[in-house]
Amino acid sequence: MEITNEQFHTVLEYDKVKAMLAEHTRSTLGRELVDRLEPLTNPVAVEAALRETNEAAAILERGSAVPFWGVTDVRELVGRLEKGSVLGPADLARLAGFLRGCAELRRYMRTKREAAPTLSLYAEGLADLGQVAGAIEVAVEGARVADAASSRLRILRRDMEILAARIQAKLQSYLNSPQHREALQESFVSTKDGHHVLPVKTSHRHRIDGTVIAVSSSGSTVFIEPAAVGRLVQEMQSLRAEEEAEEYQVLASLSGLAATEVAAMSANLRIMAAYDFAFAKGGLGLAMGGIRPGSSSRTSCGLRIVQGRHPLLGRQAVPLDLEMGGDDRQVLVVTGPNTGGKTVVLKTVGLFALMAQSGLLLPAAEGTVLPVFDRILADIGDAQNLENSLSTFSSHMGRISAILDQVGYDPEGARRSLVLLDEIGTGTDPAEGAALAMAVLEELHHQGATVVATTHYGDVKRLAGMHRGFINGRMDFDPETLRPLYRLVLGEAGASHALWIADRLGLGRHILDRAREHLAARGVAEEELRKAEGTDGPDGAGVATEAAAKATTEATTGAPFEAATTEGADKAPGAPVSAGAVEPTSTRPWQVGDSVLIQTLGQTGRVFQVPDAMGEMVVFTRGKRVRVNHKRVKLLVAAEHLYPADYDMKVALYTWHDRKLMHQMEKRHVEGARRVAEEGKAAEGKDGGDHVR
C-alpha cells in the first residue's frame, strides 16, 4: 500500500491547522505560501523558520500596526508589462498602490532591526520604486487619466467642456423659442442612441430643421436632432478621439516606465509574500498563546511537551505533559479507556512535530523541545476501505507495512522518524493482534524510530513495562468518580474501564453484572491455566485444568460444573485476588456485594451476608442464597471495584421477581411473600440462606 506524506498529514489534521493559518494572511500571496507549506527536515531551516515566526509574533504582540495596506497580488500586471502590454488607468493605480506599500513596509521594518533582526533584513531586498509610483499617481486619478498627465490633454478637455456648454445652450434655445414651442410635444431634451434630440409632434416635424433619430411607439412623436446641434456634436466627437489618443500615449509612457522595473517588482512580490506569510504565522501563534519550541540533537532525539494543548481544541483543552526520547524512552505505549483522550495525545504529538517543522509556534509552555524528524507517520482512526473490500484490520496492516517501509534503518542515526499508532493490532483475534503489535513495536524500536502507540492489550502493556527503551503511560481517571481527566501519566499502565463506560452509555445493569462475573471467572481460569503449565505430571495438570474449566463454565454458561468429588475442597487451589482487590482481613472485612468463588461448589456469587461470629456467611448465587463457611469462599473482586458508591445492591443480590415483590410489599400486603421478607432481613444481618458444607 502506497501512502503519501499528505495522507499522513491529513490523518493528523495538519490541513486544518493550515486553514487556521490562512485566515491570518492579508493577500493571495501569503495564502499560496500557506497552501504550499510542508514540514522542513533540515534543522537549520527549521530553526530559521521558527526564528522568523517568533520575531513576527513579538512585533504583533506590541500592538504594532504592520503597514500591509499595499499588499496585493499584481503578478498578472507585472506579467503583462513584461510582454509589452499597455495597462489601463485602474491597473496602473493598483500597481502604484503595491509599490507604495512596498516602500512603506520597507521603512517600517527598518525601524524594527533590534526587535526583529532576521525579518528586518528582508526589507533591504525591497526595491524602492517610488519614482514609478509617483509618476503613475500624478497621471492617474482612480480609473481615469488625470488632466495633469499632459498639457495637450489638459487643452483638449478644456475645449471639450466649452463645446459641451455650447451644445446645451443651443438645445435650450429651442426649448425657449416661442416659434418652436408649439411644435414640441414636451419641453425637455432627451438622448437617443447618443444623440441629443427634441420631442417634436409628428404634424410639426418640418418646423425644426434636423435629423429624425427615433419615432415613438404611437407615432405621434418624432425625436429630432437639430442640424445646428449635430454639427457641434461632430466637433465633440473629433475632440474625444484626440483625447483618447493622448490618453493612450500617457498610459503607454507609464507602462513603459514600469516595464523597466519588472525584475525589481517581481522580487518585491516574493518578499511581500514572505512578509505576509511570516506575520500570518506570528498572528496564529499569538492567537493560540504559542511559544517557540526548542530543538534537540539528532543523537538524543529528545521530545518534551510541557502543558501542550491540541491546536484545534483551543485553550480549554487539558494540557499534555510528555517527555520521551533517547535509549530509555524511545517507545511510549499509552493505555486507558476509549473516552480518555489517548487519540488526542497521538494527534497532539504529531501536530506539534508538524507545526514546529513548519515554523509555527506551539500552544504549550516554555521548556517544550522537539527534534527534527525526517518523517512523521501515523495510523490513526478507522481505516476500513469498503471500495477495495479491505477490513479494518487489513487496512491497518497495510498502513503499518507502508510505515515500516518508510521508516527504514540507519545505524548512524542520520534518519529519524516519528511513528504514531492508534489501537495497534486491533480488528483481529486479540492474542494474535497483541503478538503482532509487540513485534511491530520491537521492529520500530530496532529501526530507531520514536514511537507513540495506544493499545488495550495487556501483553503490550507488559512488554512496555519490561523492554528497555519502552515506557508505559496511562490516561488518568478520577479514582472517586472514575471520570476521565484526559491527563497523561507516564510510567504506569492504565485500565480500559470498559464496564464503567458501558454503564455511562446506558447498558443494562443485569448485563453489566453478568459481564463482571465473566471477568472474575476469566481471572480464575487464567490463573489456573498458568498453574497447569507449571505443574509436573499429567495428574497435576488435570487438577488445574479442571479448576479452570469449572470457573469458566460457571461464568459463561451458568450450568453447574460436575466435579469428581468435593472432598478436600477446602484445600483446593484458591482463586487469585483480582487486580485492585484485597483479601478480607482485620483491616478490610468482607463486604456485601463482594464477588466470590464458592470453592466447594465451583460457583461464583456475591456476598449477601457477611460472616457471623461462627464464620458463617451467605452468598447469593444462581438466583438463591446459600450459607457457607468463609474458609470455603475466595474473594474475586472487591465490591468497591465493582459498583459505584450509589449503586442499588438489591439489583445484584435479588432476582427480578423478588425485587418486584418487595416493591409491591412496600405498598400493600402480598400473600406468599413471607420468604422474600425474611431473606431481606438476611441482607441486613439477620439469619437466612440454605446451608452448604
The pLDDT of 309-331, averaged and rounded, is 86
Question: Over the stretch 437-481, which tens digit does the pLDDT of each residue have?
Answer: 889 999 998 888 999 999 888 888 888 888 888 999 988 877 666
Rounded Cα distance, 334 and 454, in Å: 5
Quick one: pLDDT at residue 529? 45
Contacts of 603 (CB under 8 A, 6+ apart): 554, 560, 597, 621, 622
User: What are the φ/ψ torsions at residue 442 (nearest 5 degrees)?
Assistant: -65, -40
CA–CA distance, 462 with 229 (Å, rounded to integer): 103
Cell numbers linked to 472? 508505559
Phi, psi of 94 (to 5 degrees): -60, -45
Rounded to whole angstroms, how far apart are CA atoms 436 and 424?
A: 8
Mean pLDDT of 311-323: 88
8 Å CB contact between 422 and 349? no
User: How many Å apart are CA 572 and CA 544, to the nearest integer?
Assistant: 9
Instruction: Confirm if 601 and 554 have CB atoms less than 8 A apart.
Output: no
Q: What is the pLDDT of residue 131?
A: 94
Q: Best-predicted range by mean pLDDT among 221-230, 251-260, 619-628, 659-668?
A: 251-260
Grade residue 585 by pLDDT with cuts at 50, 70 and 90. Answer: low
What residue ranges define each of the domains in the chain, with the CATH number in brackets?
A: 7-129+261-288 (1.10.1420), 149-253 (1.10.1420.10), 294-503 (3.40.50.300), 509-691 (no CATH)
Antiparallel, parallel or unpaired: β 690-691 and 624-629: parallel
Binned at pLDDT 50, 70 and 90, residue 623 comes out as confident
From 306-315, 345-354, 632-641, the region with the lowest mean pLDDT: 632-641
Integer Cα distance of 26 and 280 in angstroms: 8
Q: What burial class does residue 108 get, using C-beta atoms within 10 Å of its C-beta: 0-12 exposed, 13-18 middle, 19+ buried?
A: middle
pLDDT of 172 higher than 50: yes
Average pLDDT, stretch 674-681? 48
CA angle 10, 53, 48 (to 5 degrees): 90
* Residues 445 and 468: beta-carbon distance below 8 Å: no
| Rounded average pLDDT over 207-215 | 86
Q: Which three cell numbers stand for residue 374?
A: 525526517
Q: What is the mean pLDDT of residues 243-271?
A: 96
Residues 490 and 398: their CA atoms lie apart, in Å, by: 30
Length of the chain, please? 693
Torsion of CA 552, 553, 557, 560, to 10 degrees: -140
| Residue 58 near residue 116 (C-beta atoms within 8 A) | yes
| Nearest residue to 516 via CA among 617, 603, 639, 632 | 639
- Beta-strand ranges (E) seen in 484-551 are 484-490
Which of 260-269, 424-433, 441-450 has the lowest average pLDDT?
424-433
The interaxial angle of helices 130-139 and 89-110, nearest 10 deg, is 140
What mean pLDDT comes out for the span 317-346? 85
Residue 672: per-residue pLDDT = 56
- Measured CA to CA, the distance from residue 63 to residue 74 in angstroms comes to 29
pLDDT of residue 637: 80
Residues 121, 275: Cα–Cα separation, whole Å: 11
Beta-ladder partners of 620: 606, 625
Whole-number Å distance between alpha carbons of 120 and 105:
10
At 331 the pLDDT is 92
Band (pLDDT 50/70/90 cuts) for residue 326 is low
Residue scoring higher pLDDT (461 or 655): 461
- Provide the phi-psi class of 627: left if phi over 0, else alpha when psi is between -120 and 50, else beta: beta
pLDDT of res. 566: 32
Residue 217: what pLDDT? 84
Q: Average pLDDT of 336-342? A: 76
Among residues 621, 615, 613, the alpha carbon closest in space to that of 594 is found at: 621
CA dihedral 496→502→503→507, nearest 10 degrees, is -160
Q: Within its chain, how far is the Cα of 395 from the centroid?
A: 22
The answer to whether 319 touches 60, Cβ cutoff 8 Å, is no
| 46 alpha carbon, distance to own chain's centre | 23
Instruction: Say if residues 522 and 499 touch (Cβ distance below 8 Å).
Output: no
Alpha-carbon span 307 to 319, nearest angstrom = 5
Label residue 75 by pLDDT band (50, 70, 90).
very high
Question: In whole angstroms, what is the distance from residue 32 CA to residue 19 CA?
Answer: 12
The 3-state DSSP class for residue 259 equals helix
Task: Tell me the pairing of strands 417-421 and 633-637.
Answer: unpaired
Angstrom distances, CA of residue 447 to CA of 131, 406, 450, 490: 61, 11, 9, 23
pLDDT at 554: 44
Q: Considering the chain, what percentage of its residues have pLDDT values greater than 70?
A: 79
Q: Which residue type occupies 89?
A: P
pLDDT at 7: 85
What's the CA dihedral at 70, 73, 79, 80 to 10 degrees? -70
The dihedrals phi and psi of 230, each to the nearest 5 degrees, come to -60, -40
pLDDT at 411 over 80: no
How far is the C-alpha of 225 from the C-alpha of 196, rounded, in Å?
6
Average pLDDT value for residue range 389-412: 74
| Mean of the per-residue pLDDT values of the chain | 81
Q: Side-chain half-sphere of 578: how many Cα atoms within 13 Å?
A: 23
Which residues are registered as beta bridge partners of 376?
A: 418
Q: Which residues pair with 472 in a beta bridge?
A: 333
3-state secondary structure 262-311: HHHHHHHHHHHHHHHHHHHHHHHHHHHCCECCEECCCCCCCEEEEEECCC
Residue 85: the pLDDT is: 96
How many Å apart are CA 651 and CA 578, to the nearest integer?
A: 22
Provide the whole-model pTM: 0.69
Q: Which residue has the higher pLDDT, 544 or 525?
A: 525
At which residue does the C-alpha cell 484626440 appear? 242
